[in-house]
């Protein structure tokens, strides 16, 4: 006998998600995730000056605002010839000054850091009883409940990173400093020192929290790795260029690439392989189209098979997962961590624990990325795995992975050329051109494409990270199938479902870019 469960809205995520779950024999047999808002940002920027796109499109999201802004700038710079993708999109060449690249890295790393911290602590944290953090933190600061954790830890941490964004981008959220040609701030010793001081303050809290989160997740690895298997296909559009050896053929700290299951080897990325399908979405588009020639979205709710505003992006026809786990598998960092652990405790065969990804793998990969960006001063060998001591500290892990102890952010700051320019006036609006912005945002792969004609925006497309993860028949719907559902009539019945959903750190605000002010119901309630 089957039953239907509707969760609307799903809380502690970004944006508006409705879940429709069919349950049979105590487990989810099928799932529909409904992205329930459409805002039409790609249509808003049409017929405007290309330089207007970034400040408008940053409003797609209130969390990864800097990522949308800067990636739109990057698409315009690509159209204007300031930046080219080289070596089959693996590298980049730019006429921008080195300081501009490094300053953008700092702004976006600060954006990632607070986003990851807020997810681990405030969004997913309650599902795991905060990993035991409340008891540990209460020994040094007064943190006894969720409100305390927000006011004493999460919000101050976010404030520190917003202050860093402001130092380099002019304001936060929605910095406006980045424009085609570079950044507004010429690096000075005082701005660099002010930024490092804020990173170090953030790091102090992270050094306490990260081992506790790691030990909790690994102690529950058997359960968490059995939940939420994805398609096994992963995509990364790369991020954080390294200009320290010149701005020609710059390597990427986070490489671009694609993994197609059952292979675990990354292949080169090509945007020509991306299509978007709307056969089950509320749009007027009859067939899958290449995203680089796709017309602006036209809402159409007449399709009887449609149930969501989320489109279905595919790479080489495949549904593909994106996010911290995807990029760490493509870079090799996450499997490398598995080899380090396996060398100490052979009962842990490697990472990811589930080759298709899992709740455990997504949560751990996000925490690892946060430590890599911010760094660590924690030399206490208190890390465990599966409840057994690893005799490793956070600093030991960074050293084993070849990552800087003081974090990537501080490394980029120390590489800046103090007093040198961060801007070039080389950009001119092209009369006719197309440009692509490729970037990894906190939640995964972010794609911006612009078509310019007669000096104005003729077409624009955005594929945000969650769009990859929540389409019809996509990674999240598949990951939910098989998830156990209890029958006690309490909140715990759906706890494992929430583990799966929140492991993706969803942002539906990004996924669909019009709200019906008349309040009309867009869908029928499942019985």
In this predicted structure, the answer to whether residue 51 has a pLDDT above a threshold of 50 is yes
**pLDDT for residue 514:** 35
In this predicted structure, the answer to whether residue 61 has a pLDDT above a threshold of 90 is no
Mean pLDDT, to the nearest integer, of 243-251?
97
Question: Which residue is listed with tokens 């990969």?
Answer: 365
**pLDDT for residue 141:** 77
User: How buried is residue 524: exposed, middle or buried, by Cβ count under 10 Å (0-12/13-18/19+)?
Assistant: exposed
Percent of the chain residues topping a pLDDT of 90: 84
Instruction: Compute the mean pLDDT over every residue in the chain, rounded to the nearest whole number.
Output: 93
Query: What confidence category does residue 511 fall into, taking pLDDT thresholds of 50, 70 and 90?
Result: low
**pLDDT for residue 139:** 79
**pLDDT for residue 169:** 95
pLDDT per position as a tens digit, 104-153: 999 999 999 999 999 999 999 999 999 999 988 877 777 888 999 899 88
In this predicted structure, the answer to whether residue 513 has a pLDDT above a threshold of 70 is no
**pLDDT for residue 287:** 81
pTM exceeding the 0.85 threshold for the entire prediction: yes
Mean pLDDT, to the nearest integer, of 355-377?
98
**pLDDT for residue 489:** 85
In this structure, what are the phi and psi dihedrals at residue 263, rounded to the nearest 5 degrees?
-65, 150
In this predicted structure, the answer to whether residue 173 has a pLDDT above a threshold of 80 is yes
Mean pLDDT, to the nearest integer, of 188-206?
97
**pLDDT for residue 512:** 55
**pLDDT for residue 510:** 64
CATH of domain 1-527: 1.10.645.10
Q: Cα separations (Å) of 418 from 14, 335, 426?
A: 38, 37, 22
Exposed e or buried b for every residue in 371-392, given b needs 16+ CB within 10 A?
bbbbbbebeeebbbbeeeebeb
In this predicted structure, the answer to whether residue 522 has a pLDDT above a threshold of 50 is no
- Domains of the chain by residue range: 1-527
């Amino acid at each position: 006998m089957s039953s239907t469960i509707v969760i609307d809205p799903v809380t502690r995520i970004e944006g508006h998600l409705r879940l429709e779950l069919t349950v049979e024999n105590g487990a989810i047999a099928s799932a529909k995730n409904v992205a329930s808002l459409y805002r039409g940002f790609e249509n808003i920027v049409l017929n405007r000056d290309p330089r207007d796109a970034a400040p408008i499109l940053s409003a797609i999201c209130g969390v990864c605002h800097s990522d949308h802004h800067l990636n739109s700038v990057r698409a315009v710079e690509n159209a204007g010839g300031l930046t080219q993708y080289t070596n089959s999109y693996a590298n980049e060449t730019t006429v921008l000054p080195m300081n501009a690249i490094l300053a953008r890295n700092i702004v976006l790393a600060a954006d990632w850091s607070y986003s990851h911290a807020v997810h681990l602590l405030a969004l997913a944290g309650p599902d795991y009883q905060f990993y035991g953090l409340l008891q540990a933190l209460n020994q040094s600061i007064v943190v006894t409940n969720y409100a305390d954790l927000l006011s004493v830890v999460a919000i101050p941490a976010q404030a520190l990173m917003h202050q860093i964004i402001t130092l380099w981008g002019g304001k936060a959220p929605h910095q406006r400093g980045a424009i085609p040609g570079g950044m507004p701030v010429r690096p000075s010793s005082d701005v660099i020192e002010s930024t490092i001081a804020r990173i170090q303050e953030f790091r102090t809290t992270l050094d306490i929290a990260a081992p506790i989160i790691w030990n909790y997740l690994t102690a529950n690895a058997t359960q968490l790795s059995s939940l939420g298997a994805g398609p096994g296909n992963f995509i990364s559009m790369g991020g954080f260029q390294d200009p320290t050896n010149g701005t020609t053929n710059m390597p990427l700290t986070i490489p671009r690439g694609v993994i197609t299951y059952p292979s675990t080897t990354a292949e080169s990325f090509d945007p020509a392989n991306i299509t978007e399908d709307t056969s089950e979405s509320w749009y007027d588009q009859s067939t899958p189209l290449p995203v680089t020639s796709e017309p602006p979205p036209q809402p159409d709710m007449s399709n009887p098979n449609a149930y969501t505003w989320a489109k279905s992006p595919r790479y080489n026809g495949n549904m593909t997962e994106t996010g911290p786990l995807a990029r760490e598998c493509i870079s090799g960092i996450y499997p490398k961590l598995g080899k380090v652990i396996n060398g100490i405790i052979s009962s842990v065969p490697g990472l990811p624990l589930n080759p298709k990804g899992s709740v455990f793998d997504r949560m751990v990969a996000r925490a690892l990325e946060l430590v890599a960006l911010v760094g660590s001063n924690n030399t206490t060998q208190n890390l465990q795995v599966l409840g057994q001591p690893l005799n490793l500290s956070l600093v030991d892990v960074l050293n084993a992975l070849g990552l800087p102890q003081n974090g990537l952010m501080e490394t980029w700051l120390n590489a800046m050329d103090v007093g040198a320019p961060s801007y070039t006036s080389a950009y001119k609006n092209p009369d006719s051109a197309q440009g692509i912005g490729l970037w990894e945002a906190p939640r995964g792969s972010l794609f911006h494409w612009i078509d310019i004609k007669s000096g104005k925006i003729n077409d624009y497309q955005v594929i945000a990270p969650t769009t990859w993860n929540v389409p019809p028949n996509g990674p999240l719907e598949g990951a939910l199938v098989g998830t156990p559902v209890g029958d006690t009539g309490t909140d715990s019945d759906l706890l494992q479902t929430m583990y799966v959903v929140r492991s993706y750190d969803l942002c539906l605000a990004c996924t669909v870019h019009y709200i019906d002010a008349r309040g009309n119901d867009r869908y029928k309630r499942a019985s």
